[in-house]
């Protein structure tokens, strides 16, 4: 570690917090103990703490001076409904729940940064402006995540931020390597349910019925043509029919057939195109067979788009701390989704990945490093110190840089 800031970061304390949080994982909107731990620490270090945003969410505010710069750093606190299989000394003590995405580590890195920033604040470090540390519940809940709810409850009007940043671990990338990307970094995630209504009848007399199973089958095939023929071949899109359901027995033509789709895109305009084409294809297939169709289309997390200036600032900070070999500037986007995308719709900022390595946690996995959401996953403790140091250095850069946006 080549930074004066790393001496302000307490790696031993962070490891203890991380293991404590890991032992007691809590699902989305139930992060009571985790939230209380964060609140206790922030209050003790002199932060102004506001609790009760989106239930268990909280914001810790530290004012360095009257300057106009306002920075938001965000971490998620929720765990997953998975039975942990790591066998580690700090493994989950709650059956059926585990920190399988590393949010215990993300919360801890921000907590470590909070402690270091409070130390810098006490020493009268030359920083000016305000830092808001945003501890968010329920990132894993899909459509109804904690980021959106915190924003609906006034996150950015009560805690104005000129820029927001978040960091997630990424298994399979060398430990401590920072990955940046300007523009789209993670996909939108939408869900559609399509119900075809025909006219049921005897399996031997199809001419007296309207068979919705045939309509659904034709639609499954026709949907594939959207990605193949409507989407620019250089853009990305996924349409997966994850569920197809029709009928009860072999000799009855059912009344209805139903499809459920998972839809992903890396550009908002492709996302719009997919919805428009899915609706048109389903309706067109229903019409051509003389059936009716009902579509319910639910938009989930949007495309996550990193702002160029803030991404470059974060990258410069990582490069000056860890050197260019530990920093990747133009990382590949991922088809996973993340509700920090909502925050980036309202405020410029950047989402950063930090390599989790394989850290020996390959047991239980067929090959390669253990991925997040796997029962054998564990956040890499060696990232606590560089992660927290990165947050501190970013805050320092942001609260001392004249041009921040
Ligand atoms: Zn996750
Ligand atoms: Zn996650």
Q: 343 or 5: which carries more pLDDT confidence?
A: 343
Looking at the fold, whether 144 and 167 belong to one and the same domain comes out as yes
CB-based contact 5:393 (threshold 8 Å): yes
Distance CA 189, CA 337 (A): 6
Say how many Å lie between the CA of residue 129 and the centre of ligand 1.
32
Say how many Å lie between the CA of residue 192 and the centre of ligand 2.
23
Distance CA 4, CA 393 (A): 9
**CB within 8 A of 213, min separation 6: which ones?**
246, 247, 253, 254, 257
Say how many Å lie between the CA of residue 105 and the centre of ligand 1.
12
Phi, psi of 350 (to 5 degrees): -155, 145
Looking at the fold, whether 161 and 202 belong to one and the same domain comes out as no
Decide if 404 is inside a domain: no
Looking at the fold, whether 46 and 166 belong to one and the same domain comes out as yes
Domain boundary residue, one of 299, 330, 363: 299
Which ligand places an atom closest to the C-alpha of 379? Answer: 2
Say how many Å lie between the CA of residue 103 and the centre of ligand 2.
6
Confidence band for 6, pLDDT divided at 50, 70 and 90: confident
Say how many Å lie between the CA of residue 254 and the centre of ligand 2.
41
Say how many Å lie between the CA of residue 92 and the centre of ligand 2.
17
Decide if 1 is inside a domain: no
Q: How many domains does the chain have?
A: 2
User: What pLDDT was estimated at residue 279?
Assistant: 98
User: What pLDDT was estimated at residue 403?
Assistant: 44
pLDDT tens column, 369-399: 788 999 999 999 999 999 999 999 999 999 9
Which ligand places an atom closest to the C-alpha of 141? Answer: 1
Question: CA nearest 271: which of 305, 245, 242, 308?
Answer: 305
Question: CA nearest 78: which of 96, 104, 52, 54?
Answer: 104
Looking at the fold, whether 16 and 114 belong to one and the same domain comes out as yes
Decide if 62 is inside a domain: yes
Q: In angstroms, what CA-CA distances link 176 with 325, 359, 404? A: 11, 11, 26
Looking at the fold, whether 50 and 140 belong to one and the same domain comes out as yes
| Mean predicted confidence (pLDDT) in 34-51 | 98
Looking at the fold, whether 252 and 287 belong to one and the same domain comes out as yes
Looking at the fold, whether 241 and 334 belong to one and the same domain comes out as no
Decide if 403 is inside a domain: no
Say how many Å lie between the CA of residue 158 and the centre of ligand 2.
26
pLDDT tens column, 277-312: 999 999 999 999 999 999 999 999 999 999 999 999
User: What pLDDT was estimated at residue 402?
Assistant: 54
Decide if 351 is inside a domain: yes
| Mean predicted confidence (pLDDT) in 223-252 | 96
Decide if 49 is inside a domain: yes
Looking at the fold, whether 174 and 94 belong to one and the same domain comes out as yes
Domain boundary residue, one of 269, 299, 329: 299
What's the burial of 95, exposed, middle or buried (CB within 10 Å: 0-12/13-18/19+)? exposed
Looking at the fold, whether 200 and 235 belong to one and the same domain comes out as yes
The whole-model pTM stands at: 0.90
pLDDT exceeds cutoff 70 at 367: no
Looking at the fold, whether 101 and 156 belong to one and the same domain comes out as yes
Decide if 405 is inside a domain: no
User: What pLDDT was estimated at residue 404?
Assistant: 44
What's the burial of 269, exposed, middle or buried (CB within 10 Å: 0-12/13-18/19+)? exposed
pLDDT exceeds cutoff 70 at 361: no
pLDDT exceeds cutoff 90 at 319: yes
pLDDT exceeds cutoff 80 at 142: no
Decide if 368 is inside a domain: yes
Say how many Å lie between the CA of residue 100 and the centre of ligand 1.
7
Please give the residue range of the domain that contains residue 80. 6-186+303-398
Say how many Å lie between the CA of residue 399 and the centre of ligand 2.
28
Say how many Å lie between the CA of residue 378 and the centre of ligand 2.
12
Q: What's the mean pLDDT when you consider all of the chain?
A: 95
Distance CA 111, CA 20 (A): 13
Looking at the fold, whether 109 and 41 belong to one and the same domain comes out as yes
Distance CA 320, CA 339 (A): 29
pLDDT exceeds cutoff 90 at 10: yes
Distance CA 315, CA 311 (A): 6
pLDDT exceeds cutoff 50 at 85: yes
Looking at the fold, whether 169 and 204 belong to one and the same domain comes out as no
Say how many Å lie between the CA of residue 51 and the centre of ligand 2.
22
Say how many Å lie between the CA of residue 351 and the centre of ligand 2.
12
pLDDT tens column, 257-266: 999 999 999 9
Q: 210: which DSSP letter?
A: B
Domain boundary residue, one of 268, 299, 330: 299
Say how many Å lie between the CA of residue 142 and the centre of ligand 1.
10
């Amino acid at each position: 570690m080549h930074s004066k800031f790393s001496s302000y970061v307490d790696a031993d304390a962070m490891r203890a917090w991380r293991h404590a949080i890991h032992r007691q994982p809590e699902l989305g909107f139930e992060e009571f103990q985790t939230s209380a731990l964060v609140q206790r620490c922030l209050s003790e270090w002199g932060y102004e703490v506001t609790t009760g945003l989106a239930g268990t969410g909280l914001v810790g505010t530290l004012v360095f001076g009257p300057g106009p710069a306002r920075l938001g750093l965000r971490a998620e606190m929720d765990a997953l409904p998975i039975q942990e299989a790591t066998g580690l000394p700090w493994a989950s003590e709650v059956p059926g729940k585990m920190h399988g995405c590393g949010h215990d580590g993300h919360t801890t890195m921000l907590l470590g940064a909070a402690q270091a920033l409070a130390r810098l604040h006490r020493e009268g470090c030359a920083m000016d402006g305000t830092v808001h540390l945003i501890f968010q519940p329920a990132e894993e809940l899909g459509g109804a995540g904690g980021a959106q709810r915190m924003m609906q409850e006034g996150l950015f009007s009560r805690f104005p931020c000129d820029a927001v940043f978040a960091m997630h671990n990424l298994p399979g990338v060398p430990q401590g390597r920072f990955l940046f990307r300007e523009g789209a970094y993670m996909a939108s995630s939408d869900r559609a349910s399509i119900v075809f209504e025909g006219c049921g009848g005897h399996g031997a007399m199809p001419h007296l019925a309207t068979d919705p199973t045939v309509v659904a089958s034709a639609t499954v095939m026709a949907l594939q043509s959207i990605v193949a023929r409507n989407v620019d071949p250089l853009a990305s899109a996924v349409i997966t029919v994850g569920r197809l359901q029709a009928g009860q027995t072999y000799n009855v033509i059912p009344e209805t057939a139903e499809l459920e789709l998972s839809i992903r895109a890396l550009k908002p305009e492709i996302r719009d195109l997919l919805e428009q084409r899915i609706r048109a294809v389903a309706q067109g297939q229903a019409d051509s067979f003389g059936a009716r169709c009902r579509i319910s289309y639910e938009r989930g997390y949007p495309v996550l788009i990193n702002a160029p200036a803030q991404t470059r600032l974060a990258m410069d900070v990582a490069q000056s701390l860890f050197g260019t070999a530990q920093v990747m500037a133009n990382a590949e986007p991922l088809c996973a989704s993340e509700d920090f995308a909502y925050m980036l719709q309202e405020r410029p900022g950047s989402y950063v990945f930090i390599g989790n390595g394989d850290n020996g946690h390959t047991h239980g996995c067929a090959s390669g490093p253990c991925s997040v959401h796997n029962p054998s996953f564990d956040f890499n403790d060696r990232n606590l110190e560089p992660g927290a140091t990165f947050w501190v250095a970013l805050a320092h850069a942001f609260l001392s840089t004249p041009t921040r946006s």
